[in-house]
Structure 1
Amino acid sequence: MSSDDDSSQCSFLSRSPTPPSELYPSPPPSQHPSTKGSPLPDNMEQRARQPNDDGPPRKKRRVAEPKPRVTRHLDLSGDDIDDSEPSQREALDLLLKVLHKKRKIVMIVGAGISVSAGIPDFRSSTGLFNSLRQEHNLKTSGKDLFDASVYRDPASTATFHQMVRSLSEKSRGACSTDFHHLIATLADEGRLLRLYSQNVDGLETALGPLATETPLPQKGPWPKTVLLHGGLEKMFCVKCKEVNDFNPALFDGPTPPECEACAYVDNLRTQFEGKRSHGIGRLRPRMVLYNENGPDEDAIGRVTTADLRARPDAVIVVGTTLKVPGVRRIAREMINTVRDRKDGISIWVNNEPEPKGVDLNNCWDLIVRGPCDAVAKQAAMRRWDQPVDPKEITDEEYRKIARIPSPKVLVPISPRKKQVDKAKGIMTPSASPKLGNKTLGPLVQTTIKPEDSKVGTPQPKGRKKNPAAGASKKTQQNKKPSSKKKATEGDKNKSGITLKLPFKQSKAVAQAPAKTLEKEQACGTDSKRHPTVMAPVSPQSAKNNTAPPYREPLIKDLAVTPKSSPRSDKTISPTGYVPNDMLKILD
């Protein structure tokens, strides 16, 4: 064996023996989770923990999927309902639940709700479009009479005026139907959010709870009824936009009538002011025709936006085919908003099938086939103009219907609260606190009457004598006469006001009136205008004449103005110590 082999062999032998891995398993690295406590399943592999890993992923919250909506069908075309079919009974219960329980209902109605009142609809076999074509020998449909192009031709204008007069006479002679009263009852109970009507007959607005405003306000609050296509109850001038009641006699012949307001203004300009004429406007019925913008278009957009934000809980479309694009868009937006709610219900009521289209596909929760008056019959709701019998319904339902508030609970007031309330009106205490043998007189409010030549301070109630005059005769005899005259009761100041002193005059103030005047002027008080009272101070401060600045008096019941009120050159201050409680009351 060569040296190279020996060296390699020695080097190999000098190495440490490596034990087999089966006998000495190494611990798992720190990146791997431990599986001693809870072994992993056979099919699950260990995942290396990342440095930013906070643990196992959070469990996803289970969200209950919305229940699939089912479209129910109710047939009210016959006299009776087939109770043998449970689907009919469920559909009827859903209809009655909406009419009796929902709180924010939106209704979109058409001419179908007025058919039973004697006013024909538009698109049916016996509607206005077919009848007008036969009556006026039109080459096309009668829909052309409701187009804005009728004013381009005198012949079509005359035919339009004739149609308008006939329709206005029918509307004025018709009465509201049962379904009209059902809508009015919902409005009277406060459960109708809005009524969008395409009708021009005015049968809805003739009822009190469904009254509207013409023109429609641009800002809320808005009326319950919104006339999408105007009505035959009003006419307006195309120039000055003035609105008046509709007069059918004016619309006779091919020429539209003149506006009286425009004629009056034009007469003033030309005859009296010598200016040129601006023209006279023409009158026309305030109803929206095809291919023109309505006068209330902007206001209707604002009302619709507000109702969508209110999130209605039910929408009912009755007596219309939704052929007009604007009305169809309103219905689609209302249905989408209602069906976003968990308890929102959309209902279609008509003799004709529901409208087809991608935008209105599968959007109805209940489809009622039959006249709308049959719906009112099944609902059997009270009429809005009938009195309510409280014996037939519960107290809670009676308060909701009659709008009677709940009785108020009267909480008895404790005697302590009555005393506190009574004490709030007292400005000063009834009696001053006693300090040993000395008693401070109560504060007195001064009342000045203009008819009195001499105005004085009245004595406090309950005291017949002035506290300052209650000193004994011996005390007055022992006092040495002063060279300077002090202010006493009955004296008059320079302004002629009689002084009645509830407190004794301070010695320092009596000896130094000039210093007192200087302090008042330094504090911004004009001694010639306002009588001021010295702020209460301690006896030592009064003796040393180091009193705080003067302030306005506690005089509220002055009968004269402060400018005419004179002031006294002499001030009044207490002679004894004033407690803190008294200072708080004075402040």
Structure 2
Amino acid sequence: MESGLTFQGVNRTSTSVNTSVHRTTSMQHTERIKDTITTGNATSTKFSSKGPSKRSLKSQLAQPPYHIFNDDKLSSLSEKTFQEGIKNVAHLLHKRKKIIVLCGAGISVSCGIPDFRSKGGIYDMIDTNDLGLSTPEEIFHFEVFQDDPRPFYKFAGKMLYPNRPHEPSPSHKFLALLEEKKMLLRVYTQNIDGLEEKAGISPKKIVYAHGSLHVSTCLKCGTKVDTEELRDEVLKGNVPYCKKVVGKRRRRGEKTKRTIEIDGNVQVNGNENVEYEPVLCEGVMKPNITFFGEALVDRVRRCLEADQAKADAVIVIGTSLSVAPISKVIKYLRPSIPRILINRAVVIPKHTSGEDEDNDDEDGIDHRDGYLFDAILLGFCDEVTKAVAYVMENNDEGGRKKQKIEASKEKQEPSKNKRRKKIAQASETEKKPFPFQSDDCKALCNDAKTLEAIGPSKNCLLNHPIDRILLFPGAKLEAQKDDDDDVTVYHEVVHCDECHDVIKDIIMKCLNCFDFDLCKKCHKKTASKHFEGKHKFISEK
């Protein structure tokens, strides 16, 4: 909708339809577009003040299909360079103001926090025999915790209370940079360490999809406490219990009760000394992290449904997207926005229900031909984010304005000061090398040796074109394992959003909402009332 005033007058000399557009520029460099529409004997004129319209802003953004090399013909890809690719990745994010970030354990590994599935990770550290578990994953399964919380607390001491507090990584700081540049819409983190907020990201911009370790809740009465209050018990390997006072009971003091008999009736002497002791809840305290088998907090769904139409790019960083329902977010967002993966290996979410839904809207058309991400940056997350941040800082408009200001100041400085400043800058440049000057930084399409090593099948790339992949230190290109006999797979546990029971047979999924599911019984009662029956449901087993 255009803003401005509308003036109407009478034109008695014209009886035809005539449309003209006049452009005028004032001394204040304010452009007004005058649309004069004359119909019959009336003239309507509309003025709008200067300002970028949604259409003009959209024209400044990279449009689908997205490429990280200008020429996507494979015959010329051998000439493409890593530097060109990383600059074009930054260009994909240029002018974006509503970026959604999905992050996982990979951004916290360099902080000293192990991930779950890697060698030396949390699952590798769990001694199942000592804890009486059949698989390492059981330690985070809600039913197992309800039956016996002792294995979790026997292992969790070091995880809950590290010897030294962890500090944010360069990847966390990259996310804070996005907010600083007013490019960040929301961070959906699967991590429970709280380092996103410690890096300086506003709490309102963060959604903890799997909860946080900093607060614990009583499973019996719902009392919440700071997890720090449970330190002593947990470090001893004990299960912490709720200490909330829920009542009192009478206990006798040093004096005993005296009774007297009046007319055959026994009565208590009113002068007796009676004391009361508090009655504690003594329910099991559980950290506010989402275990396998628990439903996500409502804020995840509310924020995603609010952000779906706003998001103009999505970055997946440090996660395999193997756990539902976060694994469904990529397909829930509009396919017309750029998708960037920053991870050690290529990933494909396993859960993509509703992805084949027909959508005639322009924003609902997926221009990708069998692949998921427009840019794949493989390597240690910190190495990748430092490179992207470097390019963004040195190529955005703010950086150019800053350079112009510094250049104007240099003209006013004496020549001696200029020489000293150039010498200082030269020495500083030597100390601070270009962040991706490394033999491990390559454009995969220009790396014949690596392509030969991974073979013609390229199973490890999961059908992603090689002209979309940049390699950094730490990149994993080995083929995916086919033998999963030693891996325990937990099927998605789905709760009905109406009766909150676990759905054990047919699941009725809403295609319009994020992660809204009903059991068959509740679907018959609720579907017609859910958004006045306008939303479409599909059935899944």
Task: Give the TM-score range, shorter chain.
Answer: 0.3 to 0.5
- TM-score of the pair, normalised by structure 1: 0.44
Which structure exhibits the higher relative contact order, with contacts defined as CA atoms closer than 8 Å and separated by 6 or more residues?
A: 2
Q: Which has the higher strand share?
A: 2
- TM-score of the pair, normalised by structure 2: 0.48
